[in-house]
Amino acid sequence: MRQTSTAPRNNKLKPSSNLIMNGSVRVRVIRTLLAIQNGQSLASVLDPLLNSLHDGDKGFAHALLLTTLRQWYALERLLDSLADNPIDEKEVRTTIQVGLTQLLYLQVADHAAIHETVEAAKEIEFAHATGLINAILRKVAKNPSKFRKKCDKKHSLPNWLAYQLKQDWSEQYDDLMQGLRQPAPMFLRVNTAITSIENYQQALVEFEVEADLVELTSGLQLENSSDTATSNTILTKGLRLHQTTAVNALPQFAEGAASVQDMHAQLAAPLIHSALLNKLSVKNDDADGDMDTSNNEIRILDACAAPGGKLAHWLELISSNESPLFNVKQDDESIPVVSKVKLTAIDSEAPRIERIYTNLQRLNLSQHDLQQAGKNIELNIVCADATTWQGAGKKKSKLVFDAILLDSPCTATGVIRRHPDISILRTEEDVEQTALLQADILHNLWPQLKVGGYLLYVTCSILKQENVEQMQDFMTHYSNVEAIEFSDDCSWGIEQAIGRQCLPIDSESGDGFYYALLQKTAE
């Protein structure tokens, strides 16, 4: 997806590929913010910033950078109201906004915030603006509560995005605008192949990390063997930490006991896995128990899999000793549902593929680990474009997969709390381009799904064009698709015409995710 700056002012700004990390903490934060405005992502510049600092400065730099980004557009509007004349130099505007963040949101002492910010302007060779910077910051310092209220009154998003969200979510708009400005909670997914969620929660206490158990209930109206829909209830458990914690402070993290994953993201694997089990149970019931399962292999696909969180979760469910996939007891006998699972994961970027391997190795879920554990799972990770890739290769039949998890590319507007640079990097044109890309992927993958198979469509967007409207448009193109309904016992999200939408409003809940489950009814 194209990522461009939404900031119109670009005076002396030079390309930021050679970002210089020296000078005071504030200077380094200012240079990092300038790099983001010039098109670099927060993910690419955060580590260079923090790694350039002494340990005692890292916390302040992180808070200053993230808070300035979260309040970016609100601070811009406040700055414009404070200045007698337009300020066109991006470096000067950014420096003032860093100063405003200290005064309004970080409770830095007035004299320190003003003096150090003015000195930072000199360090970046904008000494000619120090009088202006000093005057504006001193004005705000006289009545910070007044200006904080002014800043907090409206949204802190680009106007085009705020307008679209108001169109999409008029009832939730005010809460959503405030929710997007807050830090997101940190959630953990416990690897139950290593320990139980209750035991891990107790282990956290011993490490002086407080966490709450979070349970989400999902209800799906899935077809049974008598061709009627019954409610299939799924319980997803995770842990919400009271405070964001470095992963090296978590017990057994390096050994794969837990993963950092948003609570709403943790819904994906259980949903598609439950649908897959339902497909297989209906198939076996139709065979009246006489089906030969010795060569009954199934093939499943995780499309756009990087960095591998949902893939790892699905593998944990498949490979679990408690999973009914390989071992279902009937009349005190163990009868395998399938003999082998062939799981393919694809992503279009080689560096992101490497992250999949790294994450799976930490969780003991690499192909070698699965073989060593005696699991009948064949894992194939492919660097490929989901808009054109064909899982069948040169085989005649293109009906390949029993289930597909499509974690679709999106504008990621649902994770702005975690990645506040998104509001700066995204443009209105990106939404249209992303929706077209999503449609191309759907139209390529749908013909590869077997009859009776399921496709779970997931995004971390809160824009309807990428979510429910995408699904509605998709269903107009195919007569062999049925949208599976979520039942009333779902404890998350807002019901849509197709699927359900989570919004990042509650400071204790997960990010903005959309889920829609589709079933293929005919060739």
Annotated catalytic residues are: 460
Among candidate residues 192, 172, 439, 483, the one with its CA nearest the CA of residue 313: 192
Contact 343, 300 (CB under 8 A): yes
Residue 203, Cβ density class (10 Å: 0-12 exposed, 13-18 middle, ≥19 buried): middle
Residue 460, Cβ density class (10 Å: 0-12 exposed, 13-18 middle, ≥19 buried): buried
Contact 126, 13 (CB under 8 A): no
Cα separation of 460 and 437, whole Å? 15
Among candidate residues 89, 74, 93, the one with its CA nearest the CA of residue 136: 93
Residue 225, Cβ density class (10 Å: 0-12 exposed, 13-18 middle, ≥19 buried): middle
Residue 332, Cβ density class (10 Å: 0-12 exposed, 13-18 middle, ≥19 buried): exposed
Report which residue type is found at 216. Answer: L
Enumerate the H helices of 128-226 as residue ranges.
130-142, 144-152, 159-168, 173-179, 197-206
CA torsion sign for 47, 52, 55, 60 is: negative
Contact 9, 93 (CB under 8 A): yes
User: What is the Cα gyration radius of the chain?
Assistant: 25
Distance from CA of residue 114 to its chain's centroid? 36
Residues in the chain: 523
Among candidate residues 173, 176, 211, the one with its CA nearest the CA of residue 190: 211
Cα separation of 379 and 365, whole Å? 9
CB atoms within 10 A of CB 188: 27
Adjacency order of strands within the sheet including 229-241: 211-223, 229-241, 187-190, 258-260
DSSP 8-state symbol, 267: G
Task: Identify any residues that bridge with 456 across adjacent strands, giving them in sequence order.
Answer: 405, 517
